[in-house]
Amino acid sequence: MHAKALSYDFEFLNVSSGKLFDLIQTIILWRDQWFEKMPDKQTLKRWFQEFYTELTALLELTLQNKTFYLPDWANLSIARNVTLIPSEKFDYSHKGITLPAILGGLGRKYFNVQHRFNTFEFMIPIATSEIPETMLERFAFMKNMKSENNRHLPYFMPLTSSLNIL
C-alpha cells in the first residue's frame, strides 16, 4: 500500500519515468499478481536494495536543490520514535534492536515491540528563517485550524501534514 501511495506522489509531482518510478511500478505489479506469480526471496531482496539506494539518492538530491521550510516553533519529534534533526545535509540514524523476522507471526504485537525498541533520526537541511510569505500564512492557518478544531470539535482533525509542526 505504501508503494501505491508513492505512485500517487509521483503522479502528483508529474514523475512518470526513472529508476525509482520503475521500481515502484514493479512492486505494484507484484502485489497485483501475488497469488499467481510471487517473486522469490532473492528477487525481493534485490528489489529492496535497489529501492533503498534510489530513494536515498532522490532524497539527498532533492534536499540539496529544494528548501525544506519549517517554522522555528515546529515540533521536530514527528512520532514517538522518529525525530527530525536540522543538519547541513541529508542523513539518518537508527538506534535499537531489530527482532528476528521469525517473530513476525505475532502480527501487530511484533510491530508494536519493534516500534518501542527502535528510534530513528533524520538529519535534513531545514530552513526556519526567510520563509516565503505564502508558507508563513499556511503555517499560521494550520495552527489556527488545529486550535479551533480542538476547541469546537475535539475528536475530529481533518487531514493535514504528517509532520506534527503545530
For residues 71 and 60, membership in a common domain is answered with: no
Find the domain containing 24 and state its range: 1-65
For residues 77 and 154, membership in a common domain is answered with: yes
> How many domains does the chain divide into?
2
- Answer whether residue 105 shows pLDDT above 80: no
Which of 50, 65, 80 is where one domain is finished? 65
- Percent composition of the chain: helix, strand, coil (DSSP 3-state, to 5): 50, 15, 35
For residues 77 and 158, membership in a common domain is answered with: yes
Burial, 134: exposed, middle or buried (Cβ in 10 Å; 0-12, 13-18, 19+)? exposed
Which of 21, 49, 65 is where one domain is finished? 65
pTM greater than 0.75 (yes/no): no
Mean pLDDT along residues 134-159: 84
For residues 100 and 45, membership in a common domain is answered with: no
